[in-house]
Structure 1
Amino acid sequence: MSGTSEGPGPAPDSVRSPVTERDSGSRTASELRDYRAAFNAAHLAMAVVDREGLVVAANHAFATLLGAEPAALVEQAAADLVDLAAEARTWHAYLEVLRGRQARLRCTRRLKHPDGHSMWTEVTLAPVPDSRNVLMSVADVSDRRDLQARLRHLQMHDPVTRLPNRALFFERLSAALESSSYGSGGTGRIGLCYLDLDGFKAVNDTLGHRVGDRLLAAVAARLTQCADQSGYGRSGGHLVARLGGDEFALLVEDSTGTEQLADLAKSVLAALQKPFDLAGQRLSVSASIGVVERATAGTSATGLMQAADTTLYWAKADGKARWTLFDPERNAHRMTRQALSSTLRPAVERGEFALEYQPLVDLESGAVRGVEALVRWNHPQFGTLAPNRFIGIAEEDGSIVQLGRWVLRTACRQARQWQLDHPAAAPVFVSVNVAVRQVWDSDLVGDVAGILAETGLAPQLLQLELTESAVMGSAGRPLQALQALSDMGVRIAIDDFGTGYSNLAYLSRLPVSVLKLDGSFVRGFRYDDGAHPNPADETIVEALVQLAHRLGLTVTAECVETAGQAARLRRVGCDTGQGWLYSRAVAPDRIAAMIGVCPLRDLPA
Structure 2
Amino acid sequence: MDIFKSLFDRCCDAVVIVNEQAELIYANLAACQLLDDPSGVLTAMPGQDEGQLWEKQQGRLIEQSGSLLQAVLAHEPVLHQEFLLQRSHTATWLAVTSQAFHLPSLDFHGVLLLMHEVNPSPDSDDLRSSLASRDVLASLINRSILMDRIQQALQQDHQTQQGGIAILCVDITRLKTVNDAFGYLAGDRLLVEIVARLSSSLRPKDVIARLGGDEFIVLLEDIETEAAAIAMAEALHAQMATPFVINGCEIGIGLNIGISLSRAQILDADTLLRQADRAMTEAKCHFGERYRIFAGELTTSPEDTLHLEMSLKQAIEKGEMYLEYQPMVLVRMQEIIGVESLVRWQHPEQGSLSPGQFINIAERTGLIIPLGWWVLEESCRQLKEWQETIPQAQNLFVSVNMSSQQFAQPDVLDRIKAILQRTRLSPQSLKIEMTESVLINNSESIIEILAAIRDLGIRLSVDDFGTGYSSLSYLHRFPVDTLKIDRSFLENADSDYEKLEILQSVVRLAWNLGLEVVAEGIETPKHLAQVQALRCESGQGFLFSRPLNKTAMEAILQSQATAS
TM-score calculated relative to the size of structure 1: 0.46
TM-score calculated relative to the size of structure 2: 0.50
Larger Rg over CA atoms: 1
